[in-house]
Amino acid sequence: MYRNATTDLSHWLTQPRRLPLVLRGARQVGKTWLIRDLAQRSGRELIDMNFERDPTWARCFTDNVPQHILQKISLRLGRRITIEGSLLFLDEIQEYADGLAKLRWFAEDCPQLPVVAAGSLLEFTLRDHDWSMPVGRAGFYNLEPMTFAEYLAAHGQDLLLEYLRAWSPREALDPTVHEQALHWHNRYSLTGGMPGIVALDVENPETAIIRDAQRQLLATYRADFPKYTRRADPHLIGTVLASAAAQIGRKFVYRQAYDPQPARVKPIIELLCQARLCTTIDYTAGNGVPLAAETKDKFRKLALLDIGLLHAMMETPELLSDLNDLSPTMRSRLAEQVLAQHLRARGPRSGDPSRLYYWQREGGRPGEIDHLIQHRNRVIPIELKSGAAGAMKSLHQFMADKGLDTAVRIDRNAPSTQSLTVRTTQGDQAQYLLVNLPLYLLEELDRVLDAVT
């Protein structure tokens, strides 16, 4: 299956001044497969060292001279390693945390050898390490679940993907394209973007089989809970994760997390975020860029890693084949989850994971904007409607208060643009361009905004 990351990693491989790369992402998002595929595509011999499967690989790293390390690896493998034709892969590196510190020596003394490190619970190692991380001697790459476009490509829907990528806000989308895109997006919303489950969906799209695989993956994540920390009860981690799923789309209320002490819940959320099973959506005042300048920890929403995880946790029916058979509340949660994980995938893939933001009115009358994003030097509010209609009172008032001229509404209608002049419930006038996009066009968001702003 083709991943967007394939292009990025292939580009990294060709850079004359490339640094060793640390691949970050949750368990089962496809890190190992991606590096094996990269080696095959580039014609390089993959030196695959899995420290979880075989901890004795650490014996090859007893000093800081890359040539000596490679000699020991060669002796163990029984063949000589050619630097120019190989790719060194340090898999499950969290089991040998000192291996991360060794990356600086490869960057300085053996830059011609491409080196990649990855790990399922790598964030905990990065948090707890007591050694010197090779600052400026290693790069980071964030890998997320498969997006809808990657899902289409896996199913051979290249023609549909071509139509979606060619659509311009200046023209109407063909109704047949819209109908087919909705059909495939509904299927994606039932399957999710975890590569192993997408591969299963390509081979055998029976929903009962897909749901069983999602439950099995959830059980794998739960089995990891004891590894998160010695200070947290694995059962409490599970109940907080379940509460996060139940509260998707609204401000997370700590007291609803099945624990009478909110102070115990916040550290658990941090653990789940480090494991990449959850993502926080932070409050921002939204007065300008950067959005991170006006955040408050007191207000936050949560999203999960993948929509398939939500299905497993909420126990949606095994034989479900149509989203309309679900309750409106569940359909709304699914839409919120898809939006959040695609906005997360939209962010920069290098460095730290991207942050998500929303806005809500503090005190007085209620009001909320589902997401705020930065597009170049502008703040763009995003309003989500899980169906085909819905009021936008909060959006109108937000646009008037902040003096913004462009907003996005996500719903199930065909894409379009509208020039609005409205009077808010407070009597203020809001005049702005509303870009209407269906969920299946989320990956085209920045291209569309470039065309209309």
Same domain, residue pair 307 and 285: yes
CA dihedral 25, 437, 419, 450 (to 10 degrees): 50
Structure confidence by residue, pLDDT tens digits, 284-328: 999 999 999 999 888 999 999 999 999 999 999 987 878 888 999
278 or 364: whose pLDDT is higher? 278
User: Which residue, of 85, 119, 142, is where some domain finishes?
Assistant: 142
Q: Are residues 437 and 337 in the same domain?
A: yes
For residue 351, what pLDDT is reported?
Answer: 78
Same domain for 351 and 312, yes or no, is yes
Q: Which domain holds residue 248?
A: 149-452
pLDDT value for 259: 66
Can you give the pLDDT at residue 262? Answer: 76
Residue 228 has pLDDT above 60, yes or no: yes
| Whether residues 163 and 55 fall in one domain | no
pLDDT tier at 211, thresholds 50, 70, 90:
very high
Phi, psi (5° rounding) for residue 363? 75, 165
**In 10 A of CB 214, how many CB atoms?**
25
Residues 130, 169 within the same domain: no
Q: What is the pLDDT of residues 22-31, one digit of tens each?
A: 999 999 999 9
Residue 244, burial from CB neighbour count under 10 angstroms (0-12, 13-18, 19+) = buried
Q: What are the b/e assignments for 337-368, b being 16+ CB within 10 Å? A: bbbbbbbbbbbebeeebbbbbbbeeeeeeebb
User: Cβ distance 149 to 441 under 8 Å?
Assistant: no
- The predicted pLDDT at position 260 comes to 63
Same domain, 397 and 261: yes
pLDDT at 388: 54
CA distance 158 to 422: 40
| Residues 380-405: tens digit of each pLDDT | 999 998 655 567 899 999 999 999 99
298 and 418 in a single domain? The answer is yes
pLDDT (tens digit per residue) in 331-373: 999 999 999 999 999 988 887 888 999 999 887 778 899 999 9
Quote the CA–CA distance of 3 and 37 in Å, as a whole number.
10
In this structure, the answer to whether residues 221 and 359 fall within a common structural domain is yes
We report the CATH number of the domain holding residue 59 as 3.40.50.300
Both 107 and 207 in a single domain?
Answer: no
From 142, 175, 200, the end of a domain falls on 142
Structure confidence by residue, pLDDT tens digits, 10-19: 999 999 889 9
Summarize pLDDT for 366-377 with one digit per residue, the tens: 889 999 999 999
301 in helix, strand or coil? strand
Q: What is the pLDDT of residue 129?
A: 64
Per-residue pLDDT, averaged over 93-98, amounts to 90
Of 98, 117, 142, the residue that ends a domain is: 142
- Closest to 144 measured CA to CA, from 93, 214, 209, 192: 192
- How many domains does the chain fold into? 2
Q: At residue 231, does pLDDT exceed 70?
A: no
Residues 6+ apart with CB under 8 A from 448: 169, 415, 435, 437, 441
- In terms of domains, do 138 and 153 share one? no
Please indicate, yes or no, whether residues 373 and 257 belong to a single structural domain of this protein.
Answer: yes
Output the pTM of the full model.
0.93
Structure confidence at residue 33 as a pLDDT band (50, 70, 90): very high
435 Cβ contact partners less than 8 Å away, ≥ 6 residues apart: 169, 406, 407, 408, 409, 415, 417, 448, 449, 452
Average pLDDT over residues 103-117: 94
What does the pLDDT look like over 74-91, one tens digit per residue? 999 999 999 989 999 999
Q: Give the mean pLDDT of the chain.
A: 92
166 and 77 inside one domain: no
If one counts every other C-beta atom within 10 angstroms of the C-beta of residue 271, the result is 21
CA dist 80 and 71 (Å) reads 8
